[in-house]
Structure 1
Amino acid sequence: MTFVWFMELLKGTGQLFLHPLFYYFLFLAAVLGVSRVKRERRNFHVRAEDAYFELRQLLPIGLLIGLVLSVITILAGLTVPFALIILTAAVTILLSLPARVRLLSPVYTVGIAFFILIFTTGQDLGIPFIGHYFESLEDKIYPSVALLLALLVIGEGLLIKNNGAKGTSPKLVKSKRGQTVGVHEVKRLWMLPMFLLVPGEAIEIHFSWWPLFVVGNQSYSLLLVPFGIGLHQQIQGMLPKEAIRLHGGRVIGLGVLVLAIAIAGYWFPLASIGAVAAAIIGRELIAFGQRVQDEGRPFYFSKQNQGVMILGVIPDSPAAKMALQVGEKVTKVNGVSVNDEKGIYEAIQRNAAHCKLEVIDTNGQIRLIQRALYVGDHHQLGILFVQDEKKWDSSAV
């Protein structure tokens, strides 16, 4: 039996590369990376992370979380209809067309697919090739779909909390008073592949070659299905890492709530509908609440009376090697007090071979940093900050 499961896992893994969403998510992540780099170059004449950053974040941590969730669903004996997988893929592509990556959250893709299933279960839709998948559905599938959604929401929260704050993108915007201020933006797409048990006869009817295995008297297929997790958040009033981790924690809490309601659906069928509705409404409330709270705070990244606030740090630059952090303030360079880009540049030129900084960290503590500047180093320190001029030019030091 162990060998059978091992072979099914290998087959399921191979089928991931046959799923069109796998390649579609690669395309979307590449588009996000290119658009981010173009915007950063408009603002700072230099990009922060390279255009492949979003592609590098797409799969690794999602694969780990997906594996854990897969073990839970398989041990729980959770089965989902093949019709759900078809609908979720179709809804995912449709929701991605407005270029609003946050709509790729499972609460929307799986949630909308769930409500479509409610209206199509047992119906003769007259759709060639796939219509049978809907005609053979029964009401008992609803609790399993709601439970799957709850697990995906928890997985989404974990991804946001543990990976969302990595590589947030600095951005220059205009405040209501017309002043140039800084914000941080994260537009991220993750792929969360999950092994799902699908009743074998649902696929075997049209795909006689599809691999099946038998447990008891029931045959199943084990599919590795890629789910998309999208996040779009702009932060103006807090440190990006704090705001995003708070957001992720709230999403995890929503997932736990939805999970409790979904479990009740095995005894009270209407609870399954309530669980999915709660997921969609709750996710909207979290996004709305975060936006309202953030807009009510003063801009964290604005011109300072003392020092220069670090809006971003270019990877592999001298600033990155000196462990400078977003949100810290550079108050002195080579012993000279600084308040703007010109002051920093002039202070660096006082000693082109060595750089000594006085920095106030995010806890208000003063620390001294010094480092030799070598030939081949980044031509500037690698700090991105909110400049004092009306035009967004030369805002990197």
Structure 2
Amino acid sequence: MAQQWMMEFLIGLGKMFSHPIFYFAFFACIFMGYLRVKRERKDFNIRAQNGYFELRNLLPAGLVIGGILSILTVALGITVPFAAIILAEALTFLILLTLKFRLLSPVYTLGLTFFIVFFTYNQHIEVPIFSSAFKNLEPIYPSIPFLMGLLLVVEGLLISRNAYKGTSPKMITSKRGLPAGVHVSRRLWMVPFFVFLPTGELSSPFEWWPVLQGPGSTQFTPIVIPFLIGFSQQVQGLLPKVSIKMNGNRVITLGVIVTLVAMGGYWYPLLSIAAVALGLLGRESITFYQRLFEERLPFYFSYRDRGVMILGIIPNSPAEKMGLEIGEIVTKVNGVPVNNKKQFYEALMKNRAHCKLEVLDSNDQIRFVQRALFEGEHHELGILFVQQQKRGKQEAV
């Protein structure tokens, strides 16, 4: 029996590579990176991260969390109908085409899937081509709402621990017509994890297993779903790390609440519907509140009367090696006060072999950083500044 289970799990793992979404996600990341680089070059004449940055973030974090999630889904025996997987993939594909990555939250893909399957099941609607997949739909609750709650927690963890890294600087014009900087975070994560289909060759190894299944399910097939979670946020009133972590923590809290309510659906099915509705309303409220909160704040990355604000740091540049961070203000270069890019460059040229900066950090504390400069580095420190210009284009220093 153990050998049969092992073989079925290996087959289920292999089926992940038959999902079109698995491959489409790679193309989406490459295209997302292309658009970002194109915009950054337009704003700064240089890109911040290379075009494969989004692709490098697609799998690593998701694989670890997906492994942990699989342990839980297998232990509980979370069973979902094949129809739900088809619908979730179709919705994911349509959202990817729109490039609205924030809509790839589990509350939208799984939440809408739940209501579509629930409506189809209760109305006895015949679905062409996939009619066999829509026959056994009872496992949608409490399994799908519970799974949605777990994935909402996963989304929050990914946001708070990953989404603030490597945010993309962007220049915009404020309502007063002045240039200002913002940071944009756009992510696509793949979280592969196991679930069970209510059909197949495997029977329950324990009397209490599976915990979350529909009535009448006695045979099961494990399958890996390459689930996609997207995120998009523009930060303008706070440091990216602060704002994005705050947003992620709110999503984690919502996910915990939705999961707890969904657990009640095991005894009271109406709570499954309430959990999905709560997830949809709660996630949309978090997005709306975050936007409203930041719009009321003054632009964090804006022109300052004293010094020049660091909007971005080019990876592996001298500026990064000096420990400079976005949001800091360079007030002096080689002992000379600076207020714009021209003054910064002129002060830098006074000593071609050494660079000493006086920096005001995000806590209004002054610190000094210095570094020997090699030939050509005084032209390419790798700093993107916010400054007043008649033209909309900024340049890296």
Which amino acid is the alignment partner of residue 338 of structure 1? V
Residue in structure 2 matched with residue 333 of structure 1 by the alignment? 333
Tell me which of 203, 211, 220 is aligned to 1:214: 203
Map of 1:208 onto structure 2: none
The answer to whether the 8 A contact 2:16-2:225 is kept is yes
In 2, are the aligned partners of 1:122 and 1:136 still within 8 Å (CA)? no
Identify the residue that residue 322 of structure 1 maps to in structure 2: 322
| SS of structure 2 residue aligned to 1:171 | strand
Q: Contact 1:312–1:326 (CA<8 Å) still a contact in 2? A: yes
Secondary structure of 1:324 counterpart:
coil
Q: How many residues align?
A: 386
2:258–2:275: 8 Å Cα contact kept in structure 1?
A: yes
Displacement of 1:386: 1.1
The AA in structure 2 aligned to 1:301 is F
Q: Which amino acid aligns with 1:155?
A: V
Q: Which moved further from structure 2: 75-84 or 171-180?
A: 75-84
Once residues 7 and 310 of structure 2 are traced to their aligned partners in structure 1, the CA distance between those partners, rounded to angstroms, is: 52
Contact 1:180-1:390 at 8 Å conserved across structures: no
User: Is the CA contact (8 Å cut-off) linking 1:301 and 1:309 kept in structure 2?
Assistant: yes
Equivalent in the alignment of 1:85 = 85
**Which letter maps to 1:73?**
T
SS at 1:22's partner residue?
A: helix
Q: Give 3-state SS (helix, strand or coil) of 1:325's partner.
A: coil
Aligned equivalents of 2:390, 2:60: Cα separation in 1? 41
Q: Indicate if the aligned counterparts of 1:123 and 1:134 stay in contact, CA closer than 8 A.
A: no
TM-superposition CA deviations, 1:190-246 (whole Å, max 9, x none): 111111111224xxxxxxxxxx43334933211110111111111110000000000
Alignment partners' CA distance in 2, 1:122 and 1:276? 17
Residue in 2 that maps onto 1:169: 168
SS of match in other structure, 2:327 = coil
- Gaps spanning 5+ residues in structure 1: where? 202-211
Which secondary structure state, in structure 2, belongs to the residue aligned with residue 331 of structure 1?
A: strand
Q: Which moved more, 1:302-311 or 1:5-14?
A: 5-14
**CA displacement, residues 342-389 of structure 1 (integer Å, 9 cap, x when unaligned):** 011101111112111111111111111111112364841110011211
Name the amino acid aligned to 2:385: F
User: In structure 1, what is the Cα distance between the partners aligned to 2:361 and 2:121?
Assistant: 58
Q: Return the alpha-carbon distance in structure 2 between the equivalents of residues 147 and 239 of structure 1.
A: 34
Q: The residue matched to 2:302 in structure 1 has which SS?
A: coil
**After superposition, where does 1:54-203 map in structure 2 within 5 Å?**
54-121=54-121, 125-138=125-138, 140-201=139-200
Which moved further from structure 2: 286-295 or 71-80? Answer: 71-80
Distance 2:72 2:24 in 1: 27
Aligned to 2:320, what secondary structure does the other structure show? helix
Secondary structure at the residue paired with 2:77? coil
Identity %: 53
Distance 1:3 1:365, change over 3 A: farther
8 Å CA contact retained: 2:330, 2:359: yes
Instruction: State the shift of 1:315 in Å.
Output: 0.5
What secondary structure sits across from 1:278 in the alignment? helix
Find the counterpart in structure 1 of residue 13 from structure 2: 13
How far does the alpha carbon of each residue in 1:18-74 deviate from its partner, in whole angstroms, 9 at most, with x for none?
A: 111101111111111110101100100000000000000011101111111111111
SS in 1 for 2:172: strand
CA contact (8 A) 2:127 2:134 kept: no
Give the SS at the match of 2:258: helix
Taking structure 1 as the reference length, the TM-score comes to 0.93
Compute the displacement of 1:251 (Å): 0.2
Note the residue ranges of structure 2 that are not aligned, 5 or more in a row: 206-216
The CA distance in 1 between the partners of 2:136 and 2:199, in whole Å, is 13
Q: Distance in 1 between matches of 2:128 and 2:304?
A: 64
Aligned mates of 1:379, 1:18 — CA distance in 2: 49
- Following superposition, which runs of at least 4 residues in structure 1 exceed 6 angstroms of deviation? none
Amino acid at match of 1:44: F
On the 8 A contact 2:46/2:395 being kept in 1, the answer is: no
Distance in 1, Cα, partners of 2:378 & 2:318: 7
State TM-score, norm by structure 2.
0.93
1:48 is aligned to 48
